[in-house]
Amino acid sequence: MPKQYSSRGLISNSRYCSVTALIFFVFFLLFGFLLFVGFLNLSGVVSISQVKTSSRSRQEEFLLRCPSPGTPTTTTTAHYPTRQNRATQAWNRSCPSYFRWIHEDLRHWKESGITREMVERGRRKADFRLVIVGGRVYVDKYRPAIQTRDVYTQWGILQLLRLYPGRLPDLELLFDCDDRPRVLAKEFPRPNSGPPPLFRYCSDGASLDLVFPDWSFWGWAETNIRPWKNVLEDIKQGNKRRKWKDREPYAYWRGNPNVAPTRGDLLKCNLSDNYDWNARLYTQDWKEEFKEGPKQSRLEEQCTHNRGMSPLQHYWPIRENTKCSSLKYAVEWGNNHSEEAEAIGEAGSRYVFEEMKMEFVYDYMFHLLTEYAKLLRFKPTVPPGAVEVSPETMACHQNGTYRMFMMESLVRFPSDSVPCNLPPVFDPNELRDFWDGNHKSIKRVEALEDEYWRTHPKPNLGS
Ligand SMILES: *[C@@H]1O[C@H](CO)[C@@H](O)[C@H](O)[C@H]1NC(C)=O
Ligand SMILES: *[C@@H]1O[C@H](CO)[C@@H](O)[C@H](O)[C@H]1NC(C)=O
Ligand SMILES: *[C@@H]1O[C@H](CO)[C@@H](O)[C@H](O)[C@H]1NC(C)=O
Ligand SMILES: *[C@@H]1O[C@H](CO)[C@@H](O)[C@H](O)[C@H]1NC(C)=O
């Protein structure tokens, strides 16, 4: 097998996600790309005993209470803590600045609030409705989601409740697990046209969908991608193993090219008899992989970047319409400017390791859901068709990888601190500076690229 690693986000366009997307993005474009070698080899079966246990006393730990095989699992949240304990520390620390996008995403309902009619408008687009009443979670499933995205998303919300017992307000929300944003801004010209608040993993400048952390933070069983906490640990180990300058000077990518036209296009940049664009690309067919049983970690890329990251600071932007020459230039630039390239790689990694660690993923969810709930103009109620879900009803009947990932991502203790403080709304100037800054960086790279290709012959594409 060639050295390889998985890439998730690659092409810089206006789509953004909550996710893991970004790390792969960073690594991919930065000429080193072997950061993932260790990650791949390490992924595999890890027993639950390897999960770090904390120094806290045993009594506090609350694990699953699964019934003996053959008997039905009931919702056994009765033994769960209902609030955080007295020793809970008031950290008084600010959340990372990307939390400010929570205000931006919810801005469309700021004046009007969210009425039941608005929520119901999203009904036909949703995979499920999730209701929290009195700290308990109920789900009304409308249709199958892709793979087990819905399952792990609900699992994640249950873990949030375990982490911060008694802190989540009552709420009712609709969730769609598809990648593509569906609530088009142009159909809801402001102000107060009452768009449906619909949660999903991605959004973009033309859409109003509410961005929520994706399922893979709790594991992606179909592709054997472990929960984020474990993935981060693996990447860290992998990073240590090979120094930046010893990495191979290629851009690596592995993914499913059939998800979006922009991907199929990308494969043209692969090494061929005629030309080397410094890219090594591998296709990935999930269905085939899954038949054989999950063996290695792979990440599909579904979204492209995270709003907290800036081009040239955290990653290198690639042009949408001339990917191959753009990639070639990026890799060559990186090889010529190894210090700068390494600095970008490091800033990107730092962002991922520090600002996107699991604690902050939970805090993001906490604030998004809390701010969302504040806007509700109706009393959340459990609809007739909904069933209560608990970690027990979700995990006890699972086995294999599904069960393993749930155990790895199970929150075993309530947090001993309160969530970080939500930073304030962007003022319009800050937001403008942010977009201007990003735009300027991208233009700078484009100018460099254009200059380079004026003096270097460009081979025919598609050959
Ligand atoms: C938290 O910190 C901010 C500034 O860092 C300060 O203004 C505020 O008073 C602090 N709040 C508490 C409760 O200590
Ligand atoms: C890309 O090129 C490499 C090296 O020649 C090859 O192994 C790989 O299969 C190619 N990828 C695709 C998608 O054709
Ligand atoms: C990299 O350096 C080589 C040798 O100095 C030069 O020919 C090439 O144009 C440079 N490429 C980039 C992208 O800076
Ligand atoms: C594991 O789960 C699968 C699918 O739910 C089921 O078909 C299989 O029998 C289970 N295996 C065991 C050992 O329980």
Which residue minimizes the CA distance to atom 2 of ligand 3? 336
Q: Whose CA is nearest to atom 14 of ligand 4?
A: 399
Nearest CA to ligand 4 atom 10: 399
Task: Report the separation in Å between the CA atom of 319 and the middle of ligand 3, taken as the mean of its atom positions.
Answer: 19
Q: Which ligand is nearest to the CA of 423?
A: 1
Q: Does the CB atom of residue 92 touch ligand 4 within 6 A? A: no
pLDDT in tens, the chain (463 residues): 222 222 222 223 345 654 333 333 333 333 332 222 222 222 222 222 233 334 454 446 888 988 888 788 777 777 888 888 766 777 788 999 999 999 999 999 999 999 999 999 999 999 999 999 999 999 999 999 999 999 999 999 999 999 999 999 999 999 999 988 999 999 998 677 899 999 999 888 899 999 999 999 999 888 788 899 998 888 777 777 766 667 777 776 666 666 556 666 777 888 887 788 877 777 765 554 444 433 333 333 334 457 888 888 888 888 878 888 888 898 889 889 988 988 888 888 888 889 999 999 999 999 999 999 999 999 999 999 999 999 999 999 999 999 999 999 999 999 989 999 999 999 999 989 998 999 999 999 999 999 999 998 876 654 3
* 227 Cβ neighbours under 8 A, 6+ residues apart: 217, 218, 219, 405, 408, 409
Separation in Å, CA 168 to CA 59, 100, 215, 240, 376: 24, 19, 20, 38, 14
Question: Hey, which of 1, 3, 269, 270 would you mutate to test ligand 2's pocket, going by the most ligand atoms within 8 Å of its Cβ?
Answer: 270
Task: Confirm or reject: Cβ of 69 under 6 Å from ligand 4.
Answer: no
Cβ of 399 less than 6 Å from ligand 4: yes
- Point out the ligand 2 atom lying closest to the alpha carbon of residue 257: 13
> Which letter, b or e, does each residue of 8-38 get, where b requires 16 or more Cβ atoms within 10 Å of its Cβ?
bbbbbeebbbbbbbbbbbbbbbbbbbbbbbb
**pLDDT value of residue 99:** 95
The encoded tokens of residue 118 equal 């608005």
What residue owns the CA closest to ligand 2's atom 9? Answer: 282
Q: Which residues pair with 203 in a beta bridge?
A: 16
Look at residue 323 and give its three-state secondary structure. helix
Residue nearest to atom 5 of ligand 3 (CA): 336
Residue of 357, 317, 369 lying closest to 211 (CA atoms): 369
Distances (CA, A) of 11 to 122, 311, 337, 386: 29, 12, 21, 39
Counting from 1 in the atom list of ligand 2, the atom nearest the Cα of 270 is 1
Nearest in space to 69 (alpha carbons), one of 345, 399, 388, 417: 399
- CA torsion, ordered 27, 30, 31, 35, to nearest 10 deg: -20
pLDDT of residue 327: 84
Question: What's the rounded Cα separation, in Å, for the pair 392 and 75?
Answer: 6
**Residue 260: its pLDDT value, please?**
58
98-129: string of b/e by CB count within 10 Å (b at 16+)? bbbbbbebbebbeeeebeeebbebbeebbbbb
SS3 (DSSP) at 352: helix
* CA–CA separation, 46 and 49 (whole Å): 8
Nearest CA to ligand 4 atom 11: 399
The residue whose CA has the least distance to atom 12 of ligand 3 is 333
Instruction: Provide the 10 A C-beta neighbour count for residue 207.
Output: 22
Q: Are strands 136-141 and 171-175 parallel, antiparallel or unpaired?
A: unpaired
Three-class DSSP category at 416:
coil
State pLDDT tens for residues 112-142. Answer: 999 999 999 999 999 999 999 999 999 999 9
Kindly give the distance from the C-alpha atom of residue 47 to the centroid of ligand 4, in angstroms, as a whole number.
Answer: 19
- 323-336 and 338-350 helices cross at what angle (nearest 10)? 110
For residue 90, the ligand closest to its alpha carbon is 1
R_g of the chain computed on alpha carbons: 23
- pTM of this prediction exceeds 0.85: no
For ligand 4, is residue 50 a contact (CB within 6 Å)?
no
Q: Say if residues 305 and 24 touch (Cβ distance below 8 Å).
A: no
Q: What residues flank ligand 3, with Cβ below 6 Å?
A: 329, 332-333, 336, 452
Check the CA dihedral 356-358-364-367 and report its sign.
Answer: negative
Query: What pLDDT shows up at residue 56?
Result: 52
Q: Is 59 in the pocket of ligand 4 (CB under 6 A)?
A: no
